[in-house]
Structure 1
Amino acid sequence: MKVTVQDAEIIKNIELQQLREYLQSHGWHEDRPFLDNATIWHKEAQKGEFEILLPSTKNLGDYLPRVRELIETIADSENLSYLEILNEFIKNYPHLKIQGFVTQIATPNADRLSGEVTIVCPVFEKLRQIKIELLDHDYILAIKSYQERLPVRCTGDLVKENNIFILKNPQEFQIENI
């Protein structure tokens, strides 16, 4: 099982304010502007002094490689993996395809055939619980998947709210062929 989302898509969804707040809260200090396009930040760590370039706008031609480099440098300075740091910035990723197992089915809604299910699947190489509100036929498929321990897949917009992953706008929910 794997998530089919490209690094570029993830980075495009990271807000510059998130990066700035992360840097400020983790001991980085803004040093000076770099041309009109970025600011230079520094941090003293056990491994020595680190420097990064924080873009001022997403419209730069080298925005993606700059943010990748920024994340790599943060990871190196904090002795963490690239994916662990990238995970800090997960907030909203549209059109994510997930594949996993239904591990929980909440009590169905009384007024219609629907309810919340929890799917466990890998997101950035770590197993995560993802909540999904399903309706009608999709909800029935989730129950069948849960009862028979069959893998499922679907596409939707991943949102992280209060450290809980929610897949909104689920589409193409189906049981995987084994």
Structure 2
Amino acid sequence: MKVTVRDPEILKCLEPERVRTYLQQHHWQEVRQLEDTASIWTRQDEIGEELEILLPLKPEFLDFPRRMAEVLQTLEISEQTSQLDILSDLVTYVPNITLQGIVTNVQEGATMGTVTLMGIVVGKLRRIQLNLTEPIYELAVKAYQARIPVICQGELKKQGRSFVLQHPHHFTLDLDAWVG
């Protein structure tokens, strides 16, 4: 299945420096810098055709999401992999995301604790850390004990190789998804 990423909110969150690092790691060559607004990258595909990427460097530009969508489209062709796989390597921040997952670990405290969820982030199963206080923490412990899926919202940030959901809210049991 071929998925095209078009969500401007996700695309706006891509960090140009992270994309630059990704391009370097995947043997793209920066051939020109257009002042501080964009850079041009090239790479030859397996049949010898030259591919080109215009990497926008200013997220505040109105066409930034569209340009990042073009970057993903070119990378999909060049790497012969899905845009979701590429995006999952590039995402470092997603504001106002809704996650569904299973609580796999609780680090207990009296009224608060750290909870680990296994949930889908941009098409891949990931571990996500949350810090919760009462009464939400107690609900997370119940979900952990009964293996009931949960839904919550917040700001997702990648820290190293892990994800952290900051400012979690609307944490609820997903009883519709639970097969008890």
TM-score relative to the length of structure 2: 0.84
Aligned pairs for 1:61-72 within 5 A: 61-72=62-73
- Offset of 1:136 from its aligned partner? 0.9
Q: What do residues 73-119 of structure 1 show as CA deviations (whole Å, max 9, x unaligned)?
A: 1122122210111112111111111111112112x13xx41111111
**How far apart are the structure 1 equivalents of 2:149 and 2:32?**
51
Contact persistence 2:11–2:65 (CA under 8 A): yes
Aligned length: 170
- Offset of 1:166 from its aligned partner? 0.9
Which residue of structure 1 lines up, in the alignment, with residue 83 of structure 2?
A: 82
Structure 1 gap ranges (5+): 1-5
2:124 pairs with 107, 123, 126, which one?
126
Which residue of structure 1 lines up, in the alignment, with residue 3 of structure 2?
A: none
Aligned pairs for 1:1-178 within 5 A: 7-33=7-33, 37-47=37-47, 48-106=49-107, 108-109=108-109, 112-178=110-176
Task: Flag the 1:145–1:62 CA change in 2: closer, same or farther, 3 A.
Answer: same
Contact persistence 2:15–2:92 (CA under 8 A): no
Task: Flag the 1:130–1:46 CA change in 2: closer, same or farther, 3 A.
Answer: same
Query: Share of identical aligned residues, percent?
Result: 38
Contact persistence 2:88–2:123 (CA under 8 A): no
Structure 1: 4+ residue segments shifted above 4 A: 33-37
Structure 2 gap ranges (5+): 1-5
Q: What do residues 30-68 of structure 1 show as CA deviations (whole Å, max 9, x unaligned)?
A: 223569853321102314321111124234332212111
**How far apart are the structure 2 equivalents of 1:115 and 1:135?**
7
C-alpha RMSD over aligned residues: 2.0
**How far apart are the structure 2 equivalents of 1:170 and 1:62?**
30
Name the SS for the 2:135 alignment partner: helix
Which residue of structure 2 lines up, in the alignment, with residue 3 of structure 1?
A: none
